Amino acid sequence: MTTWSLRRRPGRTLGLLLLVILSFLVIRSWLLQDSGMKLRTTYKGFTEAVDLYFDHLMSRVVPLQYKHGGPIIAVQVENEYGSYDRDPAYMPYIRKALEDRGIIELLLTSDNKDGLKKGMVHGVLATINLQTREELQLMNTFLVSVQGIQPKMVMEYWTGWFDSWGGPHNILDSSEVLETVTSIVDAGSSVNLYMFHGGTNFGFINGAMHFHEYKSDVTSYDYDAVLTEAGDYTAKYSKLREFFGSFSDAPLPPPPKPLPKMTYEPLIPVVYLSLWDVLSFIGEPIKSEKPINMENLPVNEGNGQAFGYILYETIITSSGTLSGVVRDRGQVFLDTVSIGFMDYKTTKIVIPLIQGYTFLRILVENRGRVNYGNNIDDQRKGIIGNLYLNDSPLKKFRIYSLDMKKSFFQRFSIDKWTHIPDVPTFPAFFFCGFVIGSSPSDTFLKLEGWEKGVIFVNGQNLGRYWNIGPQETLYLPGPWLFRGNNQIIIFEEVMAGSVIQFTDTPYLGRNQYIH
């Protein structure tokens, strides 16, 4: 990504620093097909992928460097690697990989206070990520003692924080943000605001954290940032604009007007398809003696399945205790009847008394791979290893890849949908169409009464919803809507509401101030 940083200079002039930050926080799922993969190390399987990536990327970056007449004056070597420090040869390898491909501008590292000492690389300028003035003091003492008289930079000043499902909506007071940014600039440091605009984790692209327990990020990446998820101004924006504007001899031009928001009429779904009916439309399942995790499925030209859901199906003839490793959340069915969930905490479930041959089905959701934490290698999704009934491994599985891409929905046409019965069978897809008579505007969807699932608008995956919160509305950008006919498909896992509501105001949950 590209970022701007600002630094106070003599004469109150404005200095601009353009950075290109290269990071491996987003790990490609196909790397995990290798059972021995060690991410962010000099493990051969990982460095081969890095080399291939750099060969393509650096051929485009190198001509844009400042010494070649372009805007790039600095390149970051990885991101917060000091918090991992898994392989002492890894950061020198990344540095050399950049230099060997023609990077000649200033190289930087970026670490928080916990990883600052271990993330430094000889000959590379260290910068710090922080949120408080106390951490700023650490920069002033430690970095100066180690690096001497060198430029100082806060690579990430955290203007807020992200949210996890089941937690609060994290916020940071605007006055505190202004005070900290002022302190950073007064200390003679450059500063990059993370985030200036957070945005949205559309589709299945949210990440997760896993320290003491697994926590997946919500769909919104509003972050309580300087600009809201929808790009609107905040009190932080006004205060920082006035502060940075004080560096300019001329008055700042007025900012653009915020985009209008619209509250459309509520929608009532009228047709639906249960997941069990959909299975007959999406092709033959994969047959396997044992469960196969998502990344190793023989789909997508050998690249496996990256995101979405996966359904496992086998036949059992007895009751007892079902056990296994399910990542991240598996809903267990006998035929089409849900009997509970398996996840990180619940690894066993009791199968009640059954008669004869019964379909055991487990619908597993990939809730997001860890983007930070010590469990980045343990991110294979689905059923991992064997699934046991009374300690005996189950065999002969039928596996359905439910990635829910556009091509997935093209497999069942509108004529296959049926009217919603009084008691729908879940999981299920719900469909409704609506017409917009004027130019579409931004809006927010609210699914009161719905429990957990995913929303698709005109074929685009808007993201996940879950009634455990904190997030209660989903941002729907106006450009995703059409003047005229539009359609919404909801995949609901457990319980459907009666209506889909629109609002012009977001609600991201109960606020909790960051300490």
Catalytic positions are: 80, 156
- How many angstroms separate the CA atoms of 330 and 311, rounded? 9
Return the structure tokens found at 414: 């509108």
Sign of CA dihedral 280, 286, 290, 293: negative
Return the structure tokens found at 473: 């509305």
3-state secondary structure of 311: strand
- How many angstroms separate the CA atoms of 8 and 379, rounded? 43
Contact yes or no for 161/170 (Cβ under 8 A) = yes
* Other residues' Cβ atoms within 10 Å of the Cβ of residue 248: 11
The whole-angstrom distance between residue 293's C-alpha and the CA centroid of its chain comes to 20
HSE on the CB side for 319, CA within 13 Å? 7
- How many angstroms separate the CA atoms of 144 and 386, rounded? 53
- How many angstroms separate the CA atoms of 440 and 514, rounded? 36
- How many angstroms separate the CA atoms of 445 and 12, rounded? 45
- Rg value, the chain, Cα: 25
- How many angstroms separate the CA atoms of 317 and 231, rounded? 56
Contact yes or no for 15/189 (Cβ under 8 A) = no
- How many angstroms separate the CA atoms of 376 and 386, rounded? 22
Cis amide bond preceding 391, omega within 30: no
